[in-house]
Amino acid sequence: MYAIVETGGKQYRVQNGDVLKVELLKGEVGEEIVLDKVLMNGKDDSIEIGKPYIEGASVKAEIVSFGRNDKILVFKYKSKKNERKMHGHRQDYVELRITEVI
């Protein structure tokens, strides 16, 4: 059984035992959270699609760790004007282990 959930403005296909990195969520390591924005549930040959979400469906996950992604560089410039800006950004994330798809 699998599900497609939405969190942090992105969609993820998950099933029991998966480990994934998502945008930062509040909580502590070892705490269980519930992702209730389920867009689609899939079993063997049947699928259930929400409009936009499936009522009563949820995914339980356990927080494994917190971290920061690699730095990305953002470089802006205007040609012939000697105008340049360089910024770096590291996005925070939380690593989740899916425990149950309901």
Predicted confidence (pLDDT) per residue in 14-41, tens digit: 999 999 999 999 999 999 999 999 999 9
| The predicted structure's pLDDT at residue 19 | 97
Q: Which residue has the tokens 């599900």?
A: 3
| Alpha-carbon span 62 to 98, nearest angstrom | 6
Q: Which residues pair with 75 in a beta bridge?
A: 86
**In 16-98, which residue ranges form alpha helices assigned H by DSSP?**
none
Please say if the pLDDT value at position 94 is more than 90: yes
Count CB-CB contacts under 10 A for residue 16: 14
Verdict on whether the full-model pTM lies above 0.75:
yes
pLDDT, tens digit, 9 for 90 and up, residues 37-93: 999 999 888 999 999 999 999 999 999 999 999 999 999 999 999 999 999 999 999
| The predicted structure's pLDDT at residue 4 | 97
Q: Which residue has the tokens 């029991």?
A: 16
Whether the Cβ atoms of residue 3 and residue 15 lie closer than 8 Å to each other:
yes
| The predicted structure's pLDDT at residue 16 | 95
Provide Rg for the chain, Cα atoms.
18
Q: Which residues pair with 5 in a beta bridge?
A: 12, 38
